[in-house]
Amino acid sequence: MSQVSYFTKEGLEKLKEELADLKGRGRSEMAKAIQEAREKGDLSENAEYDAAKDAQGLLELNIVKLEQILSTARILDESQIDLSKVQPLTKVKIKNSANGAVMTYTLVSEKEADLKAGKISVSSPIGSGLIGKRVGELAEITVPNGVIKFEVLEISL
C-alpha cells in the first residue's frame, strides 16, 4: 500500500499538469520518434528504433509513477494546521546548535521540494526529524556526516 502524500493546492495542480503533458504531448512525440525510426529500415539492426522504444518505456514508467503519487495525494488545508508543532506545510525557523546558523524551511511533499526556494521534503532527514517538534524543542537529526542538533525557534504558515 502506498503512503499518502500531502501537497499544496498549487503543487497538486502542477503535478496534474505534468501528467497531462506526458500523456498528451509526451506520448505523441514518442510515437512520432518511433515511426521515424521504423521508416529507416530493418528493425532488428536499427539502434535508433531500439533507443526510441527504450525512451517510450521510461516515459510510461514516469506516467505510472505520477499516477501512483496522484492516487494517494491529499491537499493540505491551511486552516486545519496546528501551529503548536512542526508538520507538513508549516514554515519552521531552526537554529543549528553547533554553529548558531539560523535557517527557515517550509516542509512540503517530496515532489514539491526545492531547497533554493526554502522548501524541504517531509521525508528528508531534516524534514522527518523536525516533524512533531514544538517551539523550544531540540531535534537530533542523523545525516550522512553524523548527528546535527537543531533548536526549533518558530513555527508559522
Residues 6+ apart with CB under 8 A from 15: 7, 66, 69, 70, 73, 111
**Quick one: pLDDT at residue 2?**
53
Question: What's the pLDDT band for 110 if we cut at 50, 70, 90?
Answer: confident
**Closest alpha carbon to 10 in 78, 75, 65:** 75
- The fold adopted by the segment(s) 79-156 is Chitinase A; domain 3 (3.10.50)
Gap between the Cα atoms of 146 and 103, Å rounded: 19
**Quick one: pLDDT at residue 64?**
94
pLDDT tens across 15-47, in order? 899 999 999 999 999 999 888 888 877 767 778
Question: What's the pLDDT band for 1 if we cut at 50, 70, 90?
Answer: very low
Alpha carbon 129 to chain centroid distance?
A: 17
C-beta of residue 117 within 8 angstroms of C-beta of residue 131 = no
- The fold adopted by the segment(s) 5-75 is Helix Hairpins (1.10.287)
User: What is the secondary structure of 93-115 as a DSSP string?
Assistant: EEEETTT--EEEEEEE-GGG-BG
Q: How is the chain split into domains, by residue range?
A: 5-75, 79-156
pLDDT tens across 48-98, in order? 888 888 999 999 999 999 998 888 888 876 677 778 888 888 899 999 988
Predicted TM-score (pTM) of the model is 0.62
